[in-house]
Amino acid sequence: MGTNYYLVPPASEEAPAIAKWSRGASVHVGKSSAGWRFLFRSYGRWDGGGVFLATTGEWREAIADAITHGWSLEDEYGDSVDPGDFWDFVTGKSELSSHIELLTSFDETADFYWDEFS
């Protein structure tokens, strides 16, 4: 059992798109499962411009950008998650078991997977 995390646009008729990957809709950030490193959802650029959101650093920038534009970081239950607490949580799981058999990539902090998952 685990918990999924999302970037959620502000509740308005025209949610601002952030960067080139959001299209103004909620974005699946990834999942936390007991005993495992955090598993981020990786994305490519919508315009075909190459890999994007495939490292912890890229996700840090994307989440900060989204928050700046009025988006919120929420868990699958709709509870708001403080970005600082989220990064402390992700970093705290970095020494746990890796999803290595499923991975597209990984870095020192977390794992990344290119396809949809829940």
pLDDT digits (tens, 9 = 90+) for 38-85: 888 877 655 555 557 778 888 898 899 889 888 899 999 999 999 999
State which residues form the domain around 82: 2-113
Give how many domains the chain has, as a whole number.
1
| Predicted TM-score (pTM) of this structure | 0.76
User: How many Cβ atoms from other residues are within 10 Å of residue 70's Cβ?
Assistant: 13
User: Which token pair is 68?
Assistant: 């700046």
Per-residue confidence (pLDDT) for residue 116, from 0 to 100: 58
Per-residue confidence (pLDDT) for residue 49, from 0 to 100: 55
For residue 118, is it within any domain?
no
Per-residue confidence (pLDDT) for residue 17, from 0 to 100: 58
